[in-house]
């Protein structure tokens, strides 16, 4: 990470215009890689202790953004941040990692993501920091860097955030910066979804798919293509999809759909085989 690092001052032409607008902007940023300047910037943040559900929904949403010139912004932390960066790389989408430390490999945090940081920088994205090269991450530097994640983004998507989470701190910055705040709903019994569900109750955009993100960015969706995907589903399958508004196990799905147990298992199994729904752990989600 020591090579090809440049420093951009707030007064320079290359300084991100959106970042210059925010309250208390960084006076300079150090950049390793190529900092994208055009496109639809989406921040994705969430808990470090994510579940298989959180990982799957991030991968699904990011993959659905491929044709639409998106740039994924996150914080390189373990958990949802790492998954967001990796999903972007897997789909050849540029991604920006905002650090709470300096860019030196000796201090880059977390240490296990040094290789990921190098891959981000070498594949059309950037790793950036407002700190000096050898600055060690501290408890205050992570909340501080969150304002840059939201500042670079047009909207921030929160995936799996407990009641006390740095992701909620990023969402607060986004509101203060007049950015859209979005959240993925989760089970009311899941501690990881307490914070994200609360955001939705407070008015955050509810996000279940990439299509929801595209609508938020006023990007036209090929509804005909989406309709064709499910134009041959049965009334029972439509019923199951209508009640599957959050991850739920088979027993709850049967109760909510009111389909007789004797036939529900076969219908659910067939929907899973056809790729209409997917099982993650003990719960099902819509595809």
Residues 83 and 198 in one domain: yes
Edge to edge, the sheet with strand 248-249 lists: 248-249, 283-286, 277-280
State the total domains in the chain. 2
From 216, 246, 265, the end of a domain falls on: 216
Residues 202 and 252 in one domain: no
Instruction: Count the alpha carbons within 13 Å of 215 in the hemisphere toward its beta carbon.
Output: 10
Residues 36 and 130 in one domain: yes
Residues 101 and 154 in one domain: yes
Residues 73-95: pLDDT tens digits?
Answer: 999 999 999 999 999 999 999 99
- pLDDT at site 169: 93
Residues 194 and 248 in one domain: no
Rounded (5°) CA angle 218-220-223: 130
Residue with tokens 């990692």: 97
The domain of 252 spans 223-286
Tell me the mean pLDDT in the region 158-177: 92
From 216, 238, 268, the end of a domain falls on: 216
Judge contact between 76 and 127, C-beta under 8 A: yes
Judge contact between 267 and 252, C-beta under 8 A: no
pTM of the predicted model over 0.75: yes
Select from 106, 149, 158 the least CA-distant residue to 129: 149
**CATH code, domain with 137:** 3.40.50.450
Residues 205 and 104 in one domain: yes
Tell me the mean pLDDT in the region 123-132: 96
**CATH code, domain with 268:** 1.10.10.10
Confidence of residue 224 (pLDDT cuts 50, 70, 90): very low
Residues 251 and 157 in one domain: no
Mean pLDDT of the chain: 90
- pLDDT at site 53: 85
Residues 129 and 243 in one domain: no
- pLDDT at site 265: 86
From 185, 216, 247, the end of a domain falls on: 216
- pLDDT tops 70 at residue 229: no
Residues 188 and 274 in one domain: no
Confidence of residue 222 (pLDDT cuts 50, 70, 90): low
Confidence of residue 3 (pLDDT cuts 50, 70, 90): low
Residues 228 and 175 in one domain: no
Residues 66 and 152 in one domain: yes
Select from 100, 108, 98, 73 the least CA-distant residue to 88: 73
Backbone angles phi, psi at 149, to 5 degrees: -55, -50
Tell me the mean pLDDT in the region 266-271: 85
Token reading at 95: 């991604």
Judge contact between 134 and 163, C-beta under 8 A: no
- pLDDT tops 50 at residue 228: no
């Amino acid at each position: 990470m020591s090579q090809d690092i440049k420093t951009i001052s707030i007064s320079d032409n290359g300084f991100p215009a959106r970042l210059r607008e925010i309250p208390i902007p960084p006076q300079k940023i150090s950049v390793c890689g190529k900092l994208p300047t055009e496109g639809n910037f989406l921040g994705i943040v969430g808990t470090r202790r994510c579940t298989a559900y959180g990982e799957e929904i991030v991968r699904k949403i990011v993959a659905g953004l491929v044709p639409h010139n998106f740039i994924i912004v996150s914080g390189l932390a373990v958990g949802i941040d790492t998954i967001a960066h990796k999903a972007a790389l897997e789909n050849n989408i540029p991604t920006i990692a905002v650090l709470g430390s300096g860019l030196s490999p000796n201090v880059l945090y977390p240490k296990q993501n040094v290789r990921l940081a190098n891959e981000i920088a070498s594949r059309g994205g950037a790793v950036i920091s407002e700190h000096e090269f050898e600055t060690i991450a501290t408890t205050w530097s992570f909340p501080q860097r969150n304002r840059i994640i939201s500042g670079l983004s047009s909207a921030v998507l929160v995936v799996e955030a407990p009641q006390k989470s740095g992701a909620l701190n990023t969402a607060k910055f986004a509101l203060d910066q007049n950015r859209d705040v979005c959240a993925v709903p989760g089970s009311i019994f899941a501690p990881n979804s307490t914070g994200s569900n609360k955001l939705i109750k407070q008015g955050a955009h509810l996000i279940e798919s990439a299509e929801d993100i595209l609508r938020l960015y006023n990007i036209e969706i090929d509804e005909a293509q989406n309709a064709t995907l499910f134009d041959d589903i049965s009334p029972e399958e439509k019923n199951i999809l209508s009640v599957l508004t959050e991850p739920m196990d088979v027993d709850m799905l049967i109760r909510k759909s009111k389909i007789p147990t004797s036939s529900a298992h076969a219908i659910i199994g067939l929907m899973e085989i056809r790729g209409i729904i997917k099982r993650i752990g003990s719960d099902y989600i819509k595809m």
